[in-house]
Amino acid sequence: MLFEQVTTGGCQSYLVGCPDTLSAVLIDPEISQIDRYRALAAKHGLRVRYVIDTHTHADHFSAAKQMGEMLGAPTVMHHASPAPHVGLRLDDDDVLIVGNLRIRALHTPGHTGDSMCLVVEDRVFTGDTLLIGGAGRTDLPTGDPDQLYDSLFGKLLTLDPALLVYPAHDYKGRSHSTLGAEIADNPRLQKRERGEFTQMMRELSLAAPTHMTEALRTNMTGGKTVCQLLAEASAEVPHIGLEALHRRLGDRPNDLLVLDVREESAFKSGHIPGARHLPRGQLELRVNEEIPDPTLRIVTCCEFGKISMLAAATLRSLGFMRATALDGGMKTWREGGYPLDY
Ligand SMILES: [Fe+2]
């Protein structure tokens, strides 16, 4: 088996390939590692046939949709997954054939309703159903301690104890364990009576994961993260530096328009001299009356330099082909000691 484990913070993802045919699967890809997965597949000469998410992640951004599109491979999840971009939905005991590898899906609900474990030869990818020294929390959407009890004690832990355990998370830098070692030492598995186990899971009272609502929104729908939206806008528009803009304003050019897209109170509390005010929320409605000349060089600015990128991208799509965003926001303009009008 060709095998690569990619660690991103506490997230673990895996590239698993058949050495005879160079077919492969990618398991639980994370969005910041897209280039790495492609590079690792290329390093081994692998053709990725399936991109699998073991469950709907609530704590990180899945790259399954993007990787599937890039690699021409279906995104695979359990049939209970709500994500519309899933191309192949599995049931309990379904097997994916990848070259000479057999990947068997076990439906193991509990952490989420759509959780799966994947058994491949000598190992099992446990998602968040079983972690090293832990088990996935059951207090997030579709979680259920009773189901987790059944999935663990009725299913996963009945497999060969020698199976290597590769989880979707580990926060202590450990790469893997075995089922036998977890049965012996994992504190969550010492409560072997249903009532004790479910009570323990209900009483964990863990903090909500950071970015949970955004992760659920994007992973459940295939929608974009705010970072992706901004990255796409920034790839579409050029930027101009604070110093370059300051210098050009000194020349009093008549083909340069600074467009401040903040709300009125922010504009009135200090803006770039000569800037015109058109809030982002009114941009499309008022652009025709405010900017009659589409050949103007427009520099959009906002407080932090993010909304201005979206505004410049919108202006470009409307035909203002010289729209540019200020590289930085009014905050850095003020802190840089550049001039202000009120
Ligand atoms: Fe999870």
The string of pLDDT tens digits covering residues 30-68 is 999 999 999 999 999 999 999 999 999 998 899 999 999
The two tokens of residue 327 are: 């590289």
Tens digit of pLDDT for each residue in 68-115? 999 999 999 999 999 999 999 999 999 999 999 999 999 999 999 999
Q: Give residue 251's pLDDT.
A: 87
Instruction: Report the alpha-carbon distance of residue 66 to residue 298 in Å, rounded.
Output: 33
Q: Give residue 331's pLDDT.
A: 97
Distance, CA 187 to ligand 1 centroid (Å)? 19
If one compares 253 and 26, the residue with the highest pLDDT of the two is 26
If one compares 260 and 229, the residue with the highest pLDDT of the two is 260
Task: Note the pTM of the prediction, 2 decimals.
Answer: 0.81
Q: Give residue 17's pLDDT.
A: 98
Q: Give residue 71's pLDDT.
A: 96
Q: Count of CB atoms within 10 A of residue 160's CB?
A: 11
Distance, CA 125 to ligand 1 centroid (Å)? 13
- Architecture label for domain 2-223: 4-Layer Sandwich (3.60)
- Residue 41 DSSP one-character state: H
The two tokens of residue 156 are: 């996963």
Distance, CA 136 to ligand 1 centroid (Å)? 7
Q: Give residue 254's pLDDT.
A: 84
Distance, CA 140 to ligand 1 centroid (Å)? 9
Instruction: Report the alpha-carbon distance of residue 158 to residue 222 in Å, rounded.
Output: 35
Q: Given CA atoms 216, 219, 221, 223 in this order, what sign does their dihedral have? A: positive
Q: Give residue 316's pLDDT.
A: 96
Q: Give residue 59's pLDDT.
A: 87
pLDDT higher than 90, residue 253? no
Distance, CA 76 to ligand 1 centroid (Å)? 16
In sequence order, which ranges of 16-153 are alpha helices (DSSP H)?
34-44, 64-71, 145-153
The two tokens of residue 258 are: 């600074």
Distance, CA 45 to ligand 1 centroid (Å)? 30
The two tokens of residue 322 are: 């010289």
Distance, CA 246 to ligand 1 centroid (Å)? 48
Tens digit of pLDDT for each residue in 197-233? 999 999 998 888 888 999 999 999 989 999 889 988 9
Spans of all domains in the chain:
2-223, 227-335
Tens digit of pLDDT for each residue in 292-319? 899 999 999 999 999 999 999 999 999 9
Instruction: Report the alpha-carbon distance of residue 232 to residue 237 in Å, rounded.
Output: 9
Distance, CA 89 to ligand 1 centroid (Å)? 18
Q: Give residue 285's pLDDT.
A: 96
Distance, CA 287 to ligand 1 centroid (Å)? 44
Instruction: Report the alpha-carbon distance of residue 136 to residue 328 in Å, rounded.
Output: 41
Distance, CA 19 to ligand 1 centroid (Å)? 30
Instruction: Report the alpha-carbon distance of residue 316 to residue 297 in Å, rounded.
Output: 11
Distance, CA 213 to ligand 1 centroid (Å)? 13
Q: Count of CB atoms within 10 A of residue 189's CB?
A: 19
Distance, CA 160 to ligand 1 centroid (Å)? 24
pLDDT higher than 90, residue 252? no
Distance, CA 78 to ligand 1 centroid (Å)? 14
Distance, CA 87 to ligand 1 centroid (Å)? 20
Distance, CA 69 to ligand 1 centroid (Å)? 23
Fold (CATH) for 227-335:
Oxidized Rhodanese; domain 1 (3.40.250)
